[in-house]
Amino acid sequence: MSEHTGKLKELLDKENYPLVYLFKFIIKNDHQKMVEIKLCFDETAEFETHHSKNGNYISVNIKQMMLSSEDILKRYELVARIKNVIPL
């Protein structure tokens, strides 16, 4: 576990679960990347996207019911496997 992941886990462990968690990512305007991100979440996840002014990038907001900090970190790990996705 990286130092950043450890600090995030400490913060997440302070929350009361279950809770709806908001994930945020930035990707290049690439339909395939969106498909790959969607595969990392359950069918109950709510996706919201916003295109940048020039249309080169997309901000992706995902709301998903999470049962624990481990569930949240697992989602981040799955998305981290996708090239050129920036977590916020």
Looking at residue 6, what is its pLDDT? 83
Looking at residue 1, what is its pLDDT? 55
As assigned by CATH, the class of the 3-87 domain is alpha beta
Looking at residue 3, what is its pLDDT? 75
* Rounded-to-integer distance, Cα 29 and Cα 44, Å: 24
Domain positions in the chain are: 3-87
Whether the model pTM is above 0.85:
yes
With tokens 């981040």, the residue in question is 76
- The pLDDT profile of the chain, 88 residues, written as one tens digit per residue, is 567 788 989 999 999 999 999 999 999 999 999 999 999 999 999 999 999 999 999 999 999 999 999 999 999 999 999 999 999 9
Looking at residue 22, what is its pLDDT? 98
Query: What is the gyration radius of the CA atoms in the chain, in angstroms?
Result: 13
